[in-house]
A = this chain, B = another copy of it.
Amino acid sequence: MAGSELTNVRSPRVKAARRLTKRAFREQDRRFLAEGPQAVREALKLDGVTLELFSTAEAELRHPELITEATLKGVPVHRASGEVMSELSQTVTPQGLLAVCRLLHVPLEEGLKGKPRLVAMLAHVRDPGNAGTVLRAADAAGADTVVFTDASVDPYNGKCVRASAGSLFHLPVVIGAPVGVAVRQLRERGLRVLAADGAGKHTLDDVDLSGPTAWIFGNEAWGLPEEILAEADDVVRVPIYGQAESLNLATAAAVCLYSSARAQRVP
C-alpha cells in the first residue's frame, strides 16, 4: 500500500484519475479507467498495462489476491476512501476497485497481421454498452480483432469497458480506422467483408461463412449508411422468423459472429 488512505477528492492523484472519465483527457494522457474486480483481474494479466490501482479497504478484504498480484507486479496500490471511490467511479454502486491503465489499441496493420479469420468491425455504433457487449461476443466467438471505425464510440468509455466484461484486454482492438481503408485492408488479406443489415438481400442461412470473414455492424437505430453497404462484398441480414422488426445490435452481432465461428469449425 503506497502511503495512507486517500480521502481528499481534490488531491492531485484523484483529480488525475478523475479526468480520465472524459475522452479528450484519455487521449491526451494515453490512459483509461478499468473498474471492478473482473476488469482489474484481466488488466493485471497483461504486463505493463496497469499503471495504478485504487482500492477501498472493503475491496482489499474481498479481493486480496488482486492486491497481492498488483503489488508483486510493482503496480502502485492506493487505498481510497468510499468518497474518493465514488468520485472516480462511473457506476451507481462502485465495486471499490479501479485501475488506471495505459491505452491498449493497436494500428490497423498490426491488428490485421497474421492470418485473421474472423474480424468484427463497429461502424457508427454510438452506445458504449452495446459496443462493449459486441466486443465481449466477438471475444467469445473467437474473433481475431475488433475494429472501431472513426465514427464509433470510444472503447475506453467506462460503460464500454464494463460491458466488455474483460474482453477489451483479450484481443487486439483497432480505433479510428476509416471504414473504406479498413475494408480495403481486410479484403487484401483475403477476408470477405459482410455488412450486417436488416436490408440485406441474403440471410445468414444462405451465405457460406466457412472462409475468413469480417463483419461490419452499424448503428443501433438506423443500421449502416449506403456508402458502407456499398463497400461490403455482401449485405447479410439475420432472418426474422417471428414478428419482431429487428434484433438489437449486440444480439444480432452475436448471432452473426457465432454463425461464422460455427461455419469455420463444424464441417
Contact = CB atoms under 8 A, between A and B. Distances in A.
A243 B139 contact: yes
B248 A136 contact: yes
Interface stretch (A3-11, A13-21, A259-267): A259-267
| A interface, size bucket | 35 or more
Nearest to A141: B241
Contact of A165 (B38, B165, B245): B245
Interface stretch (A84-92, A99-107, A210-218, A250-258): A250-258
A242 B138 CA distance: 8
A149 interface: no
B205 A244 contact: no
Interface of A: 38, 133, 136-143, 163, 165-167, 170-171, 204-205, 238-248, 250-255, 258-259, 261-262, 265-266
13 contacts: A38-B245, A136-B244, A137-B251, A138-B242, A140-B240, A140-B244, A143-B242, A204-B258, A204-B262, A205-B265, A239-B261, A241-B261, A254-B255
